[in-house]
Amino acid sequence: MSDKDTTHFGFKEVETEAKAGLVANVFHSVAARYDVMNDLMSGGIHRIWKRFTIELSGVRKGHSVLDIAGGTGDLAARFSRIVGSEGRVVLADINESMLHVGRDKLIDHGHHGNIEFVQADAQYLPFPDDSFDCITIAFGLRNVTDKDRALRSMLRVLKPGGRLLVLEFSKPKNELLSKAYDGYSFRVIPLIGKLVANDSESYQYLSESIRMHPDQETLKQMMEDAGFAQCDYHNMTGGIVALHRGVKA
């Protein structure tokens, strides 16, 4: 079996065609408790990371925004208020369970007039070329089987001058912080998952997927290789999370 026939699912090596199904099972399992677990695992800091993403997006009234792997709709809700009735927000997620949770949450909070919900694979986005002023993907790229294909797909559906923002866990810059974060990720997070969501295995995978994700410079190079210009990134919380940004020339 060649390297192209296999990929990583956390620390495990699996057949490439099997990964999407395995990831889907994880998110079917965690969907109902996703928001609660996010707050517990990050101490609420994920809200600050997402707010910074919104600030760097450059989104304005009337814009079209695509939030890939949008999950329970944190970013989509904020973008909905910014773009207004003249704008458009598409919350896309490959996972039906996550999409249902996000749709129900946003409708319950009154965010439905300018938001569309689309089940979509980041690698094969079902939108015309040059459709969006901004694309965001928060804590989703590391679960995509072919990240290079997904980045090219995002570039295709962006309008010229449009921005891609990738918010993702990354590599801490400080060795002591890195060791402490490893301990937290592999001991505490699966335990919280077991106690709160009765699912330690899914959170074990999520911790492993963070370690297997490309570091800051590697992801920046991947974006440039996909055709994005003006690529940069901002480390947050010591590099535990990084926000990458690229522009379609």
pLDDT digits (tens, 9 = 90+) for 81-136: 999 999 999 999 999 999 999 999 999 888 768 999 999 999 999 999 999 999 99
Query: How many angstroms separate the CA atoms of 206 and 212, rounded?
Result: 10
CA distance 238 to 235: 6
122 labelled as ligand-binding?
A: yes
Task: Tell me the pLDDT of the chain averaged across its residues.
Answer: 91
Residue 4 is predicted with a pLDDT of 62
Q: Give yes or no for a contact between 178 and 172, defined as CB atoms under 8 angstroms apart.
A: yes
DSSP assigned state of 2: -
Query: In angstroms, rounded to a whole number, what is the distance separating the alpha carbons of residues 143 and 159?
Result: 25
User: How far lies 66's CA from each of 56, 69, 132, 167, in Å?
Assistant: 15, 10, 7, 14
Tell me whether residue 93 is annotated as binding: yes
- Cβ proximity of 82 and 61 under 8 Å: yes
Residue 181 structure tokens: 């974060």
pLDDT computed for residue 113 by the predictor: 87
Question: Which of 80, 140, 83, 142 is CA-nearest to residue 111?
Answer: 80
**Whole-number Å distance between alpha carbons of 12 and 93:** 24
The per-residue pLDDT for range 154-187, each reduced to its tens digit, is 999 999 999 999 999 999 989 999 999 889 888 8
In one letter, which amino acid is 14?
V
Domains and CATH numbers, the chain: 26-173+205-247 (3.40.50.150)
